[in-house]
């Protein structure tokens, strides 16, 4: 059953994946990935006559359903399992897929998504629909699951994945890395990063923060990421407790168009590191996504402004806190810039072709700033904390946010949100530019 109007061929709402256990082996030189995926699932309201997974063009060697060999077909990016009799409504079941092949990214209008082979190693950046490039999944953001990832690679390589490193075992020239992310995670936010990396520990307190980087970029990374722990402190104060057990950054040895967030982890290109903090706003942006997008996840891609607008405003809040432009100055600049651009974007439903348009990011940040001006600092920051607490590890829509915002003020917000979220013309920003405390 289609679950997302922007990506109707991805995902199935008839069941839920509770946990993924991925046991993988990767050989960088031939770009060869093999292994198995075990999915622990729960049926929905109706009996299941088939289980449909999103999965790219690997060779599928064996498929088990509840431990027994299953009938299956694999074509057009779909792995379909057909049980001998319908699976009962609401019942638990397991799927196990053994596969091998040469992982390739998913082609899209935004470039390659998912597993990408590098000059020496690989990375995974799946937003929005690249997850099937490396494991079978129910690829929709609302279907969040826990992950256990075990990946074996040649010993000179380091492997970084979501969550906490449970074990690292060296055997006959290969090393097996085992990571666990127990917090519910959307499929596009699962990742593995493989390369020649050394570690820079930024913080070792309640939220360990580590940068994994090529040795040649070590000095630049020290300079560029040195203020990330202060960002963590500010965002924890403004948004509430950091939602995961740790935060990792991977800096690849190649250039990337933009950094990309994953659950508890963000990936930057070598071009984002220069030793002069030139990309510090991006560091703030990706960190903010851990609250907005990763812990609090959109129900479908129509609501992407809830990810990017909050993260954009976090950039402005950090700038003001760290002695740069104030949030008001950033908002005024963005408003002038947007006023010169086409007025054809509906923020709350931008359409697939505009979902990553820079205007969505900027207008999303402006909504936050304008709302803050309307309801005041105390109510605005209380709203952000309640949003992240009430929906921690959950799934949200635009209507969820507007409803919660109205609970934080006696000022009617219907007309405000209608203009900003559902209209195309850029509303006036207003004369009040509050300052963060």
pTM here? 0.96
- State whether residue 114 is helix, strand or coil: strand
Cβ atoms of 316 and 231 within 8 Å: the answer is no
In DSSP terms, which residues pair with 111 in a beta bridge?
A: 108
Q: What angle do CA 265, 127, 303 make, to 5 degrees?
A: 105
pLDDT at position 430 is 75
Cβ atoms of 176 and 152 within 8 Å: the answer is yes
H-run or E-run covering 307:
helix 305-321
Q: Could you tell me which CATH class the domain 197-290 is placed in?
A: alpha beta
H-run or E-run covering 417:
helix 414-417
pLDDT at position 436 is 37
Per-residue confidence band for 3, with pLDDT thresholds at 50, 70 and 90: confident
- Write the pLDDT tens digit of every residue in 61-113: 999 999 999 999 999 999 999 999 999 999 999 999 999 999 999 999 999 99
pLDDT at position 1 is 42
Cβ atoms of 264 and 160 within 8 Å: the answer is no
Per-residue confidence band for 204, with pLDDT thresholds at 50, 70 and 90: confident
Establish whether the linkage from the previous residue to 120 is cis, with ω within 30° of 0: no
Per-residue confidence band for 334, with pLDDT thresholds at 50, 70 and 90: very high
347 Rama sector, left if φ>0, alpha if ψ -120 to 50, beta otherwise: alpha
Q: Could you tell me which CATH class the domain 297-422 is placed in?
A: mainly alpha
Average pLDDT of the chain is: 96
- Write the pLDDT tens digit of every residue in 10-23: 999 999 999 999 99
- Say yes or no to pLDDT of 238 above 80: yes
The domain locations on the chain are 1-112+123-182, 197-290, 297-422
Give the mean pLDDT of 373-378: 97
pLDDT at position 205 is 85
Q: Which of 141, 148, 189 is nearest to 16 (CA)?
A: 141
Give the mean pLDDT of 343-359: 98
SS3 per-residue string spanning 238-284:
HHCCCCCCCEEEEECCCCCCCCEEECCEEEECHHHCCCCCCCHHHHH
pLDDT at position 413 is 98
Could you tell me which residues come within 8 angstroms of residue 228 by beta carbon, excluding any fewer than 6 positions away?
Answer: 202, 203, 209, 249, 283, 287
Q: Could you tell me which CATH class the domain 1-112+123-182 is placed in?
A: mainly beta
- Say yes or no to pLDDT of 432 above 50: no
């Amino acid at each position: 059953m289609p679950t997302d109007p922007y990506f109707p061929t991805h995902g199935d709402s008839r069941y839920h994946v509770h946990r993924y256990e991925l046991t993988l082996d990767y050989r960088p030189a031939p770009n060869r990935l093999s292994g198995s995926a075990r999915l622990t699932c729960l049926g929905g309201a109706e009996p299941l006559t088939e289980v449909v997974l999103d999965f790219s063009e690997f060779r599928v060697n064996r498929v088990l359903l509840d431990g027994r060999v299953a009938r299956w077909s694999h074509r057009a990016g779909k792995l379909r399992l057909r049980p001998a009799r319908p699976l009962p409504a609401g019942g638990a079941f397991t799927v196990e897929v053994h596969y091998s092949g040469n992982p390739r990214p998913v082609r899209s209008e935004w470039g390659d998504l998912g597993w990408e082979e590098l000059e020496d190693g690989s990375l995974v950046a799946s937003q929005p629909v690249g997850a099937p490039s490396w494991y079978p999944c129910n690829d929709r953001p609302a279907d969040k699951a826990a992950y256990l990832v075990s990946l074996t690679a040649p010993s000179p390589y380091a492997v970084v994945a979501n969550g906490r490193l449970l074990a690292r075992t060296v055997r006959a020239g290969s090393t097996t890395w085992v990571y666990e992310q127990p917090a519910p995670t959307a499929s596009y936010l699962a990742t593995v990063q493989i390369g020649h990396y050394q570690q820079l520990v930024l913080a070792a307190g309640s939220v360990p923060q580590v940068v994994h980087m090529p040795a040649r970029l070590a000095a630049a990374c020290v300079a560029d990421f040195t203020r990330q722990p202060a960002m963590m402190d500010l965002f924890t104060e403004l948004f509430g407790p950091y939602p995961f057990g740790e935060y990792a950054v991977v800096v690849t040895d190649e250039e990337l168009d933009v950094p990309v967030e994953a659950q508890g982890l963000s990936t930057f290109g070598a071009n984002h590191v220069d030793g002069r903090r030139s990309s510090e706003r991006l560091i703030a942006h990706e960190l903010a996504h851990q609250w907005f997008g990763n812990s609090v996840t959109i129900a479908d891609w129509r609501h992407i402004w809830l990810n990017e607008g909050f993260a954009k405003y976090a950039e402005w809040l950090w700038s003001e806190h760290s002695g740069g432009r104030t949030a008001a100055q950033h908002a005024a600049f963005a408003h002038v810039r947007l006023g010169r651009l086409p007025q054809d974007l509906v923020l709350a439903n931008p359409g697939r072709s505009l979902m990553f348009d820079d205007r969505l990011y900027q207008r999303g940040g402006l909504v936050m700033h304008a709302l803050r001006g309307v309801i005041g600092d105390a109510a605005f920051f209380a709203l952000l904390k309640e949003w992240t607490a009430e929906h921690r590890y959950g799934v949200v829509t635009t209507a969820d946010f507007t409803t919660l915002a109205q609970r934080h003020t006696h000022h009617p917000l219907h007309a405000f949100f209608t203009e900003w979220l559902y209209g195309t013309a850029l509303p006036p920003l207003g004369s009040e530019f509050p300052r963060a405390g």
